[in-house]
Amino acid sequence: MFQNTNFWIGLGIGVVAGIFGYKMIQQREQQLLALQQPAVPAAAPSLEELQRQKEALEDMIAAQSVQ
């Protein structure tokens, strides 16, 4: 059995396929973990920035009401 060339070829192919399969499973696992982790929240805008945005929105609303 161990002197049969087809045995060694099959064993080699099986080992290589196993290694590739293992690496693919590890990559998929890392991708799933990355998707499950919550995104890093952005820093909250400062009070001045929020006031500026509020004023800009109020100006746009006033401009729409006039039309």
Q: What is the DSSP track for the chain?
A: -TT-HHHHHHHHHHHHHHHHHHHHHHHHHHHHHHHHSPPPPPPPPPHHHHHHHHHHHHHHHHHHHH-
CA-CA distance, 27 to 35, in Å (whole number)?
Answer: 12
Give pLDDT tens digits for 4-51. 889 889 999 999 999 999 999 999 999 998 888 776 667 888 899 999
CA-CA distance, 20 to 12, in Å (whole number)?
Answer: 12
What would you measure as the largest C-alpha separation in the chain, in angstroms? Answer: 93
The model's pTM: 0.47
